[in-house]
Structure 1
């Protein structure tokens, strides 16, 4: 079954709202609300999501054993470490680092999928969500 179940799809799409809102406020197409919006809002949320996805990958790593489990655990912490250490000192560098982080996360998703640790629909969902996230982060570079 490659069809994405409703709950993960709906929750994944809902998780895009801060990225989309941040991009629209950064472009000046929407006003910030209660101090929320703009590039720093978007980048902060991106760091949260990269860290969250580390936890998701860690969960997938629990489905295997031995050397593959060790590799899975080691790989799973990379998105959180990337978000923490690769913060950038300008808007351009911070957005570029996050774009790179989400591209790297997509490669990790692919590897975990290749190891049959993810649901069959996982990559379809991750490509959709990652594409939108990367477009939103790229809008910060305009």
Structure 2
């Protein structure tokens, strides 16, 4: 395995804060009450996770699009096509209430991980990419699972 450079690792870990905060405020009613008063009700519990999860899936579509620019011919066309799927998934699959939206985001992040693996297999990502994506996806999915199954 190749070492993840410090900047992507630190920024990726910082990007987990809304997922972790959402899970913490879902599990701790005192923390949720404090957050709702000081940050607003949409910045606690599943609400922050659902909104932020949609944003991240859309962001990751852009990242995959960038990787697709490294490909040529049919592989490039396939890469561009696949790169838009996470954003479309977030757009179409995050309605229907917090449990359904959270479940669909879990599936969205799992699907994104498969796309990451495909782009990595094609040699379009940095060599450390899957190591980072496995870590970040596991934490994001685990935090979303708190709002779905607890």
Residue 50 of structure 2 contacts residue 98 of structure 2 at CA under 8 Å; is this kept in 1? no
Question: In the alignment, what sits opposite 2:144?
Answer: 137
1:38 aligns with 45
Tell me if structure 2 keeps the 8 A contact 1:106–1:130: yes
Alignment of 1:75-114 (within 5 A): 75-114=82-121
Unaligned runs of 5+ residues in structure 2 are none
The aligned counterpart of 2:22 is 22
Alpha-carbon distance, 1:90 to partner: 2.2
The alpha-carbon deviation at position 28 of structure 1 amounts to 2.0
TM-score (ref. length: structure 1): 0.96
1:6 maps onto 2:20 in alignment: no
Q: Which runs of 4+ in 1 moved over 3 A?
A: none
Larger helix proportion of the pair: 2
Root-mean-square deviation (CA, aligned residues, Å) is 1.1
Q: TM-score, normalised by structure 2?
A: 0.91
Cα distance in 1, alignment partners of residues 10 and 16 from structure 2:
10
Task: Structure 1: state its 5+ residue gaps.
Answer: none
For residue 120 of structure 1, give the secondary structure of its aligned residue in structure 2: coil
Report the count of equivalent residues. Answer: 142
